[in-house]
Amino acid sequence: MTDKDKLIEKQREALSKIAFPLKYLKDKADKEGATLNGMMALQICQDANWLKQIAEDCLMETDELEAKMKEVTDADIVKYAFNCYPDSYNMRVACVNGIRDMRDGKIKHIEK
């Protein structure tokens, strides 16, 4: 599963919990071998702060995944440079230096 797939899955899980909170609580109780108190479950499901917390938790997790997806390692840079310019040492060096500067925020990527 790719990082993008994980991101989408986390968002779907959170939306499902918010859209169907009673089902989420029932599944969680079944998983833990507990019994669900119907009145308490209804009160929890109607608690806007609890639903908001689910959304906030999801946003924090997805922010971390998005940051990881944007992370570029030196190994990625070298691999990219060698794939782009296998026959030219100077072009590889220029490519590596340019991508490092882009990663470090010294220059910005220009979309075509």
54, 17 contact by CB (below 8 A)? yes
Give the span between the Cα atoms of 61 and 94, in whole angstroms.
36
Q: What is the pLDDT of residue 89?
A: 67
* Residue 33 region by backbone torsions, left for phi larger than 0, else alpha for psi between -120 and 50, else beta: left
Give percent of the chain with pLDDT exceeding 90.
36
Domain boundaries, the chain: 3-70, 74-103
pLDDT tens-digit readout, 9-53: 989 999 999 999 999 999 999 999 999 888 999 999 999 999 999
pLDDT at 112: 43
d(CA 107, CA 8): 30
* Tokens encoding 111: 């979309």
pLDDT computed for residue 65 by the predictor: 79
Tens-place pLDDT, residues 53-89: 999 998 888 888 777 767 766 666 667 666 666 666 6
> pLDDT value at position 86?
61
**In terms of pLDDT, which residue wins out, 3 or 107?**
3
Indicate if the pLDDT at residue 110 is higher than 60.
no
For 35, the token pair is: 């019994």
**Phi/psi at 95 (nearest 5 deg)?**
-65, -45
Check residue 18 and give its pLDDT. Answer: 92
